[in-house]
Amino acid sequence: MKSFKSMEEMCETLLRGNEIQFSYNSQLFCIFAHFEGECITGCDIGKAYEDLTFVKLSDLKNFLILGKRFEEIFDSIIIIDRVI
């Protein structure tokens, strides 16, 4: 699966309501657009099949994944699926 060129490109994808699955350190994670009514207010992110955490898109880069900021590991994630 093709990776994103930047975190901004990933956030733009989420703003269109898309869902993303990725792997990091052999663990599966998901990011979903979070809707309130018809408006996207952020995203829900977390390990697959576990409770997700709401995060504003502007704060996504600082979200901790396995103790590291998402921005720090972004180039190491493996995109598994991008659902429209």
Does residue 18 belong to any structural domain of this protein?
yes
Q: What is the DSSP letter of 25?
A: T
**Identity (one letter) of the amino acid at 38?**
E
Are the C-beta atoms of 69 and 11 separated by less than 8 Å?
no
By residue range, what is the domain housing residue 58?
7-83
Which percentage of the chain shows pLDDT scores above 70? 96
**Does 63 fall in a domain?**
yes
How many CB atoms are closer than 10 A to CB 50? Answer: 10
Is residue 2 domain-resident?
no
pTM of the model: 0.87
Instruction: Give the end-to-end CA distance of the chain in Å, rounded to a whole number.
Output: 14
20-74: pLDDT as tens digits: 999 999 999 999 999 998 899 999 999 998 999 999 999 999 999 999 999 999 9
pLDDT band, residue 1 (cuts 50/70/90): low
Identify whether 65 is part of a domain.
Answer: yes
Residue 47 lies in a domain: yes
Give me the number of domains the chain comprises: 1
Q: Is residue 50 domain-resident?
A: yes
In a domain, 1, yes or no: no
Return the closest-CA partner of residue 30 out of 5, 13, 51: 51
